[in-house]
Amino acid sequence: MAASITALQNGWQCYRAPTLPTIGRRGSLDDVVVGRVGGGSAERAPLRWPFVGRAAEQEAVGVALQRSAGLLVAGPAGVGKSSLVRSVTHANGGSVQWCMASPATQRIPFGAVAPLLLFAGVEAPDPTRYLIAARAALATGDRPPTVVVDDAPLLDRASVVLLSQLFHEQRVRLVLIARDGQPLAVELARLVDDGVMEEVRVAPLGPDDCAAAVELALGGPLHSDAAAALAERSAGNPLLLRELVLAAHSTGVLYWRRGWWVLTGELPISDRLVDVIARRLATADPAVQRAVALVALGAPLPLSVASTALPPSELADVERLGLVEVVSERAGPALQITHPLVGEAVLRGTPTSTRRDLVALLSELLDADRTPEPDVALRWCVERLDVGISVPSATLARAAQQAFGFLDHPLAVRLAEAALAHGPHFESLLTLGAARSAQLDVEGGGGDRKSVVLGRMVDLGGLGIIK
């Protein structure tokens, strides 16, 4: 399927397949036949991720830049704030200078605005000379240039002062890009609070826009089931959506069937996605990284438990990272990771020893062996088994009964056998026999097989009687 280049109204270019169906006209699984297409263009990995579904935000940014000298573009990490600003400034033309703030430049005076000054020949770290050089470098053209600062909350103090002065002197039009959970410097925040600088928020993509982006990237129509799964798992975050598609395509979970891109299994978590999250956490203190893992593991983690496990400073740092939010649960306020994929990526990157320690801590704080909440007791019984922490036989027996009550027969068998490994336990023996029998019912096992299974369960209990 050959792809053509289409210029969108905002000047952004992306690849579009000429024969894509409109959103909503996808087929059902009955319409496809299993069979991998070999050698066709539909099999190629996505080479470019398109920019779609931002018409309202593009208009808002464009209007704001026309009537105001300052703009804040804010939203969750990975929703495409920088791409949005690039598309609008590219379409508007004029002089645009980009500054990239980062944890590295934050430690260096004027580090973020260095690209504006290097060609001006300024070498001595003199604030006055830097200000004069910046004015000279930016005083070009008939109108003030637009200075875009990506990750503006990470600006160093000297750059904040410089940009604030240039903005107040109307020597620049200032566009700040900031992710949720990261506060701006006081001087810049005041511009927004006073209405001197407008604010445009960028929200996650809707399901149809997610599907359109994937179809453009892959060069072919996306099956409705695949579209729904990708939209749900990514929660409309373009960054997470892209990593999901790349991982699913490279592992063969997402592939071409008779004119549709379809999913044939669970969406995988890619190493790249883990790396993205790891890079975001890399600048945080190790204690804060551990705190994020604690919330990811315990989510939804009661705020009272989190407050006991973490000092207030770490709780505040975790919230500032934008990875954790407060939600209302039946037992009161709780903490959870802002996106399930982020939680999975965080836990995947957590060392086994750290996870074991966190499971032990949360099990103790949640009183997992005595809690009246069956789902809580079952969850933390399994969590401890998974990391090799010893669980009392009585807790295992109760968890096995709970698993059986939840109709999770394989888990009931696992827990009952773990309880019996501590020694004979009549209730666990009964649960094990019932769960095995239920499994045979599902598998279509006959009465003779059930008798043999029950006899083996009795032997396992040490009673020595086969019936």
CA distance to 17, 117, 253, 255, 258, per residue, from 36 (Å): 20, 54, 11, 7, 8
Q: pLDDT tens digits for 253-283?
A: 898 988 899 998 888 776 777 777 777 676 6
Indicate if the pLDDT at residue 34 is higher than 70.
no
> What is the C-alpha separation between 113 and 282, in angstroms, rounded?
23
> What is the C-alpha separation between 220 and 164, in angstroms, rounded?
47
Q: pLDDT tens digits for 342-374?
A: 777 788 778 899 999 999 999 999 888 888 877
- The reply to whether 227 and 341 lie within a common domain is no
- The reply to whether 64 and 10 lie within a common domain is no
- The reply to whether 28 and 84 lie within a common domain is no
- The reply to whether 245 and 276 lie within a common domain is no
Structural domain contains residue 93: yes
pLDDT at 444: 61
Residue bearing the bigger pLDDT, 430 or 344: 430
Q: What are the CB-based long-range contacts (under 8 Å, 24+) for 369-374? A: 369/394, 369/395, 374/402, 374/405
Give residue 292's domain range.
Answer: 270-366
* Residue where one domain finishes, among candidates 243, 268, 293: 268
Structural domain contains residue 380: no
- The reply to whether 287 and 256 lie within a common domain is no
**Which of 164-173, 223-232, 237-246, 315-324 has the least mean pLDDT?**
315-324
Question: Is the peptide bond prior to 300 cis by the omega test (within 30 degrees of 0)?
Answer: yes
222 pLDDT tier (thresholds 50, 70, 90): very high
* Residue where one domain finishes, among candidates 172, 201, 230: 201
What is the DSSP-derived secondary structure letter of residue 408?
-
pLDDT at 445: 53
* Residue where one domain finishes, among candidates 171, 201, 231: 201
pLDDT at 29: 29
Residue bearing the bigger pLDDT, 50 or 2: 50
- The reply to whether 82 and 174 lie within a common domain is yes
- The reply to whether 75 and 185 lie within a common domain is yes
Max avg pLDDT among 311-320, 332-341, 452-461: 311-320
**Which of 193-197, 363-367, 381-385, 422-426 has the least mean pLDDT?**
422-426
pLDDT at 339: 65
Handedness of CA 263, 267, 268, 273 (dihedral sign): positive
**Which of 42-51, 61-70, 218-227, 353-362 has the least mean pLDDT?**
42-51
Structural domain contains residue 258: yes
Mean pLDDT computed over 171-189: 89
> What is the C-alpha separation between 226 and 213, in angstroms, rounded?
13
pLDDT at 174: 93
Q: Domain with 161 in it: what CATH number?
A: 3.40.50.300
pLDDT at 379: 87
Structural domain contains residue 385: no
- Tokens standing for 362? 């949360």
Q: Do residues 300 and 327 touch, judged by C-beta distance below 8 A? A: yes
Q: pLDDT tens digits for 63-88?
A: 888 888 899 999 988 888 988 898 88
Q: Which of 334, 270, 347, 348 is nearest to 306 (CA)?
A: 334
Structural domain contains residue 87: yes
- The reply to whether 77 and 180 lie within a common domain is yes
- The reply to whether 82 and 156 lie within a common domain is yes
17 pLDDT tier (thresholds 50, 70, 90): very low
Q: Where are the beta strands (DSSP E) in 88-217?
A: 96-100, 146-150, 173-179, 198-201
Structural domain contains residue 15: yes
Q: Domain with 361 in it: what CATH number?
A: 1.10.10
pLDDT at 415: 93
Structural domain contains residue 208: no
- The reply to whether 302 and 229 lie within a common domain is no
pLDDT > 90 fraction of the chain, expressed in percent and rounded: 20
Number of domains present in the structure of the chain? 4
> What is the C-alpha separation between 140 and 319, in angstroms, rounded?
41
- The reply to whether 169 and 116 lie within a common domain is yes
- The reply to whether 19 and 144 lie within a common domain is no
Structural domain contains residue 104: yes
Indicate if the pLDDT at residue 11 is higher than 80.
no
pLDDT at 463: 42
pLDDT at 101: 86
pLDDT at 373: 78
Residue bearing the bigger pLDDT, 8 or 346: 346
Mean of the per-residue pLDDT values for the chain? 76
